[in-house]
Structure 1
Amino acid sequence: MKKFEYARFLTLALSAGLAAPLPVLAADAPDAANAKSYAVRIPVTPAPDAPLQRLLLPAEALVRLQSPAYADLRIFNAAGQPVPMALASVPTPTSTQEHSVKLPAYPILGTEGAAAAGLEGLSLRIEERQGKRVVQLNTGGTTTGTAAPQKVLGALLDARKLKEPVAGMTLDADLPVGQPVTFNVQASKDLKSWRPLADTVLYRADASASAASLGDTRLDLSMADLKDHYLRISWGSAAVTVRGATLLTSQSTAVRQRVSATMATPALTNAHELVFALPFATPVAALRITPQGSNVLVPIRVLGRKHREQPWALLASSVVYRLGAAGKEQSSGPVDLQGASVREVKIEADAKTPGFAAAPEITLQFEPAQLVFLASGQGPFTLAAGQASAAAAFLPMASLIPNYQASQENALPLAQADVAKADVTGGGLAGPLVAGSPQGDGLPTRSLVLWGILLLGVLALAGMAWGLLKQTKKTD
């Protein structure tokens, strides 16, 4: 009877041990308020005499974050206290480039009567005369110039090939001395219907002067779109010679400066497959993949996943290349990943190509971000990043900045992060910022730890059962 009760006890003990939750060690939960528990600590030099300021996040911090929402970011003062802060994006700066385009002028010929009536309501036609292009007034009757002598009534510019908006125009013209001349500029697509663009009055006071002495020589065209348009310049009956005009085109481009981080070249699995792990959770904006060698072109697919139990998901398809011609080398641009947050990346080369002869060079790119913080307490201040258990501590921007208005944080003074003096847990900053470790084989580390703890628990229960069995035999 005693042996039956013991066997029942042993069965219940083993069942309870397997069903019990695994113990959580206190060492696995670091203190989020302790700067030393973070993966990297970077000194911050605040701007002088500014309580509120902003800090651009360096790549050294981005490649160590363990939260895709940047929750494991802190700024500590000298007393080890986290200061109030808010997370903000970085605005995209725009740059304006102006280019000058010179257009020749084609004379508009007409009779004295057309000059007196003006050019309003009259259409034009372009003719070739002795290898030169001239423009005739089309009055709906016979060709002008056969019944009466012709004179130059204006000038025509062909602006149909302009693709960029036009900011202004400067005339190349000879003006009469002591006579104000009014220039009118109009635009048309069909040489029939004209719309006004600009006008100006120029005056040449001295015969020795080659240009206008008074008046604005640059006509403002207010960023007019002149693609597929003609320009007509008229000046009445004044004795003016217009040889051409210089148009100033303007193009505004948005320049997004991403934060780049170098990566150690991972091992090539085979010529068509490259797999590596990322030690951070920060969303990746793009990958710059540059093949090794010269004159290499490879169509690729980039896939990613957050852990090994997940299937691979397609992130992007592109063509990477490195081509050289006439002593100049061209390489492909970044492959956009749309801010994917993954822990493993696989680059697949098209099977119809030879693939990669060697592992390509890889650079990670992140969208820029900044912290707005209150420099409370005494310095020095420290930016800390990288702790899996840290919860987000960001405040709303309206709580941090009194009477907050949109984008007001971008006018705050800029603090500087001294990455050269960064303190990194487990190593320094020498070499590439990202190790680019290969994908491991077998079970993930988390699963191995859980199975190990479970096995230790079973062995402990078995030892207890063996001791009870020996004690029961002695009693019997």
Structure 2
Amino acid sequence: MNLSKPWIVSMLLALCSVGSPAWAADTPTPAEFAWRGQLVLPPGASLVRAALPVEALLRMQSAAGHDVRVFNADGAVVPYALLRPADLERSAPAVQTRAYPAYPLFTTSTGAPAAPGAVEVRLSADTATPGSAWVRWSAADKTGTKASAAIPANAQPLQAALFDTRAEQHPLAALRLTAELPRNTLVHLRLESSANLQDWQSVPVKGPLFRFDGADAPANTVLELQQPLEVKGRYLRLAWAGQDGVNVTALTGQVATAQTQAPRVRAALPPGAPDGNSLVWTLPFATPLLALHVEALQDNTLVPVRISGRNDASQPWRALASSVVYRLDTVGQGSRNRALDLPTTSVRALRVEASNGQPLPAGGLQATVELAPLQLAVLASGPAPFTLAVGRPNTTSAAVEAGVLGAVSPARLAELPAAAVKQLRADAPDAPQLWAAKLLPSGVSLRTATLWLVLVAGVLVLAGVAYALLRQLTGSK
């Protein structure tokens, strides 16, 4: 081959110089991750636990945490394991009590004798009808299989019901009601507890009950308590004064379990983009969602909504949940809807649309996501400092199984000493390099794509050299 032509030599040298780094193994470096932080280890600790901060979770590009790495000062990846909530929490499975029947409360005319078998119930002074009411027990009721005895013909039923939970041994976290509810409205309940039917204590609860019309319409018959409630030796009373169409026949308690659970990570989303009668949020992260809190920005708002998600614009929207967004600051003591639990999922876009053709609130909506927390167990090997890196598309996992580190740990992984995380760099979640990587097929990294581009360029260069040599040979004849 005649290499006397200077341009041919230059092209071959350029090809070698560009192609040599591309042949290196596809091993990520810290600079390729969108978020980086330094692990600050407790003195004398080498096997530690670290939690990903919210800034890192908002840049993670794999729902399974494949794009998480821990590097030492030499740039080598140190052994680490991903700790899921199941590895960190200690809780018993959800347990429900038996069903407790509802005993309707009633009043009688002034001066009228009490109904046979009726028991007096003292009502609180701040109820709609302070004073005394009556309830009728029956032997059949005590088994929990039938309703209470009929209300006497001359009695006036109250918008309230009594439950005998004295035999319940466990504290309760929520009450699941068997009830008929008026449609398309919020039903606010008042819960009280008493040991003697005379002295009552108010029990704080979360949110109202509701049942809306329509396919996949939101409904809620679970009354959550703000804190576990001991009901042993006590009665419960539910009241819904001023709300017609409510009929409660029984309740089933959800037993409160003692547990140590990693708290959810909350992050407010930027304003959603209007899309017809809906708002759409594009999510630049793949961290699984546990809940979505959609809040109305304007008072006196009430609208049922459907929540959908998808991973790509070419995919149809997939229904995730339905709920009611409300904000009633000036009604009673004021109330707002709480966060709605979602089936644990990873989506790249969320849509909130009004149900039943209603418009979205004119004041707008604020969306806040609750993310699944993610912690690591890290074996700090090699020279410090140690860099935690998150956020690189199309990255394969380098984590070891949690059981591997657990086998060499003298303590449970959830009880390892905690390392602090000091943020070093946080690129924008929608940085251009991440969007470019999303255009690549699944499983193909930027480095691999660059390698193929260099190989294609090399083939073209060699083809050009061969063509030039062919012309030389042809011209010399």
What is the TM-score when the length of structure 2 is the normalising length? Answer: 0.51
Aligned partner (choices 256, 262, 265) of residue 259 of structure 1: 265
SS at match of 2:329: strand
Equivalent residues, number: 288
Aligned partner (choices 315, 332, 335) of residue 330 of structure 1: 335
CA contact (8 A) 2:55 2:426 kept: no
CA shift digits 1:283-321 (9 cap, x unpaired): 111111112211111211111111122211111111122
Output the CA distance in 2 between the equivalents of 1:281 and 1:315.
16
Cα 1:323/1:71, change in 2 over 3 Å = same
1:303 aligns with 2:308: yes
Output the CA distance in 1 between the equivalents of 2:402 and 2:430.
35
Aligned partner (choices 60, 67, 75) of residue 65 of structure 1: 60
Aligned partner (choices 299, 313, 322) of residue 318 of structure 2: 313
Output the CA distance in 2 between the equivalents of 1:414 and 1:127.
58
Deviation at 1:349, TM superposition (A): 1.1
Corresponding residue for residue 401 of structure 2 = 396
Output the CA distance in 2 between the equivalents of 1:251 and 1:338.
22
SS at match of 1:67: coil
Deviation at 1:372, TM superposition (A): 0.3
Residue identity matched to 1:332:
N
Structure with higher Rg: it is 1
Corresponding residue for residue 176 of structure 1 = none
- The within-5 A match list for 1:197-276 is 226=233, 252=257, 257-270=263-276, 272-276=277-281
Deviation at 1:126, TM superposition (A): 11
Q: Percent same amino acid at aligned positions?
A: 33
CA contact (8 A) 1:33 1:81 kept: no
Residue identity matched to 1:424:
A
Corresponding residue for residue 184 of structure 2 = none
1:414 aligns with 2:409: no
Aligned partner (choices 266, 286, 292) of residue 291 of structure 2: 286
1:424 aligns with 2:430: no
Deviation at 1:351, TM superposition (A): 4.0
CA contact (8 A) 2:81 2:405 kept: yes
- The within-5 A match list for 1:68-467 is 68-90=63-85, 91-92=88-89, 160-162=164-166, 165=169, 226=233, 252=257, 257-270=263-276, 272-325=277-330, 328-402=333-407, 408-418=412-422, 421-425=423-427, 427=428
Cα 1:392/1:352, change in 2 over 3 Å = same
Cα 1:297/1:371, change in 2 over 3 Å = same
CA shift digits 1:420-449 (9 cap, x unpaired): x33023x5xxxxxx779xxx9xxx9569xx
Output the CA distance in 2 between the equivalents of 1:332 and 1:435.
30
Residue identity matched to 1:408:
R
Cα 1:352/1:164, change in 2 over 3 Å = farther
Residue identity matched to 1:58:
P
Output the CA distance in 1 between the equivalents of 2:167 and 2:289.
34
Residue identity matched to 2:65:
Y
Deviation at 1:164, TM superposition (A): 5.9
SS at match of 2:74: coil
CA root-mean-square deviation: 4.5
Residue identity matched to 2:425:
D
CA contact (8 A) 1:65 1:385 kept: yes
Corresponding residue for residue 210 of structure 1 = none
Deviation at 1:369, TM superposition (A): 1.9
Deviation at 1:162, TM superposition (A): 4.2
Corresponding residue for residue 136 of structure 2 = none
CA shift digits 1:91-140 (9 cap, x unpaired): 34679xxxxxxxxxxxxxxxxxxxxxxxxxxxxx9999xx9xxxxxxxxx
Output the CA distance in 1 between the equivalents of 2:342 and 2:234.
35
CA shift digits 1:248-300 (9 cap, x unpaired): xx964656620112211123234x21122111122111111112211111211
Output the CA distance in 2 between the equivalents of 1:324 and 1:435.
36
SS at match of 1:36: helix
CA contact (8 A) 1:93 1:256 kept: no
Output the CA distance in 1 between the equivalents of 2:361 and 2:338.
17
